[in-house]
Structure 1
Amino acid sequence: MSVPDTQPTVLVLTALPLEYAAVRAHVEDRRELVHPGGTRVEKGRLSGTPWQVALAELGMGAERAAALTAQLINWLRPEAVFFVGVAGSLKDDVGIGDVVVGTQVYEIHGGKQTPEGFLVRPKALPGSHALEQAARSAVRDMPDVRAHFMPIATGDVVLADAESKIARFLRRSYNDAGAIEMEGSGAAHAAHLNGKVDALVIRGISDRADAGKRRADASGSQQRAAEQAAAVTMAVLRKHLPRAGSPGSSDSEEGPHRRGDDGAATYGGDHIDFRYGTFHGPVTGKRDERR
């Protein structure tokens, strides 16, 4: 088991090796940790932030994602969970290379089959409001990213036919979804049941979920989509601060202090935060009159 860190942890989950590699490129000073059950993570730091990033490649499927996300949450105690990777577009205006940030995540297979047809019983989990707000702020400063804030559909299916029965079902029953993928609802459900973990699904669009999927994948679209999703995730973490009072947070019960945009020490109340800056000059302390 790992030794507790003095800095807060965020868990970033992927399904595919290329998704893992895209996130891993942003994480420094990595070390591998192994859960007693065998699940492996690499844990390192995101430079210029208080965050420790724990990165895991879970494989495909929502049920697998749910079980392993719950395991990792209980082990690592992260403040936030992201599922990051590629997806297929469900909207004409959501193009290859765009990024979809999941305002909600839909489980698309829930329902009841009746003589009159299949009756949908929607299951939806909202993305974290705080993380979504950080994402909206972050992408404003990313001119190379075209981002959409929309629901994401999760299903145990690789959609490569826009006229298939399931494609028509999605257009009829989940018509506001901007993308389809295979793991997001599992991770979001595990975080929701934990009760204390913010969660967000961020997906880069690698294809249009139609007959052109194989051609799009062969063109390198998955690599670009994964890199875009990873870049947005890291930008979110540069905006989103740890909770007050957590290890490495920039707030405490003693008073507010904030890191400046350039990483320099900043002042608030009676405290100066030097953790992300360098100070040159004398410091005068204030005697505690209560002693």
Structure 2
Amino acid sequence: MSVPETRPTVLVLTALPLEYAAVRTYIEDREERPHPDNGTYVEEGRLRGTSWWVAAAELGEGSRNTAALTASLIGWLRPQAVLFVGVAGGLKEDIALGDVVVGTKVYGIHGGKVTPEGLLDRPEAWYGSHALLSAARAAVRDMPDVRTHFKPIATGDVVLADAESEVARHVRERYNDAVAFEMEGSGAAHAAHLEGRDALVIRGISDHADAGKAAADKGGSQERAAAQAAAVAVAVLHKYRPRGGVSGDSEEGPQARHRDGDHIDFSGGTFYGTVIGKQVGDR
């Protein structure tokens, strides 16, 4: 049985267990259900302080797997929007651990033609939904402890742990405006585009996509980055409008806002980081 049309739904996807755990803490009255055909498990529940119903799923790694499963879940659940939320490696010196990157567009880096003159790129890019991006820009103004960048993200089916590798050089040279690198965003964005859904990729920076990745991960950077990304995703849904509604916020349920000052208090999650800032300007 699919989610009723009258219940505004957002599909929130992750790749890793720690990313899913960061999202799950915000969802109330969770009910677990398997996809009737492929068996993919989702948890459905209410997003605190909003009228949104969230369907969350942990899909595993890789863009092709993500694309196939995202399309299947959209067909089943009929969500209004799709968010992919998780961690990524930072590609620029001014992107710090714990920062959040909201993808203005997502590149798929592996398209091209090999010729005697070398690789001729045939890149693909999927732009973030304007409505979701606008909601994100409004949301992070009330999140001074989360340093947020609105920039492109590069997606490739590799774990980037060497800043001097051929893949890293390729991304720097051919996708120079990308500030983060991950493995699933292009798959989710492509599926959402084909299905006519708003989509946005939100990534917390857990490493610098270099040889220091293992040490950063061991120090808890992934958990911190996942928590930051989940907090931004939830803030976006407090601003994003369900079709036919005035906003994502609801007066019912736990208080997700202080009405004096319109400041969001995410009491169900944990903010990390001490950098005081809002949106980071263009590079």
TM range (shorter): 0.7 to 0.9
Q: In the TM superposition, what whole-angstrom CA distance separates every residue of 1:141-161 from its partner, at most 9, and x where no partner exists?
A: 101100000000000000000
Displacement, 1:221? 0.0
CA contact (8 A) 1:250 1:259 kept: no
Aligned-residue RMSD, C-alpha: 1.7
Q: SS of the counterpart of 2:85?
A: strand
For residues 47 and 216 of structure 1, the distance between their equivalents in structure 2, rounded to whole angstroms, comes to 32
Q: Which residue of 1 aligns with 2:236?
A: 236
Counterpart residue type for residue 24 of structure 2:
R
Q: TM-score, normalised by structure 2?
A: 0.86
Q: In the TM superposition, what whole-angstrom CA distance separates every residue of 1:70-99 from its partner, at most 9, and x where no partner exists?
A: 000000000000000000001111111000
Q: Which residue of 2 aligns with 1:23?
A: 23
Matches within 5 A, 1:272-291: none
Displacement, 1:241? 1.2
For residues 236 and 156 of structure 2, the distance between their equivalents in structure 1, rounded to whole angstroms, comes to 26
For residues 124 and 92 of structure 2, the distance between their equivalents in structure 1, rounded to whole angstroms, comes to 21
CA contact (8 A) 1:11 1:80 kept: yes
Displacement, 1:132? 0.5
204 and 71 in structure 1: CA distance in 2 versus 1, 3 angstrom threshold: same
Q: Which residue of 1 aligns with 2:52?
A: 51
Matches within 5 A, 1:90-239: 90-195=91-196, 197-239=197-239
Counterpart residue type for residue 217 of structure 1:
D
Displacement, 1:105? 0.3
Q: In the TM superposition, what whole-angstrom CA distance separates every residue of 1:112-154 from its partner, at most 9, and x where no partner exists?
A: 1000000111100100011001111111110110000000000
Counterpart residue type for residue 28 of structure 2:
E
Displacement, 1:220? 0.1
Which one scores higher on RCO, CA 8 angstroms, separation ≥ 6?
2
1:11 aligns with 2:35: no
Q: SS of the counterpart of 2:74?
A: helix
Runs of 5+ consecutive residues of structure 2 not aligned to the other structure: 260-283
Displacement, 1:47? 1.7
For residues 181 and 124 of structure 2, the distance between their equivalents in structure 1, rounded to whole angstroms, comes to 15
Counterpart residue type for residue 13 of structure 1:
L
What percent identity do the matched residue pairs reach? Answer: 70
Q: SS of the counterpart of 2:158?
A: coil
Q: In the TM superposition, what whole-angstrom CA distance separates every residue of 1:233-259 from its partner, at most 9, and x where no partner exists?
A: 000000111012xxxx348xxxxxx96
CA contact (8 A) 1:2 1:33 kept: no
Structure showing greater radius of gyration is: 1
For residues 246 and 76 of structure 2, the distance between their equivalents in structure 1, rounded to whole angstroms, comes to 24
For residues 105 and 2 of structure 2, the distance between their equivalents in structure 1, rounded to whole angstroms, comes to 33
Kindly tell me the number of residue pairs found equivalent between the two proteins. 253
142 and 63 in structure 1: CA distance in 2 versus 1, 3 angstrom threshold: same
Runs of 5+ consecutive residues of structure 1 not aligned to the other structure: 252-257, 265-291
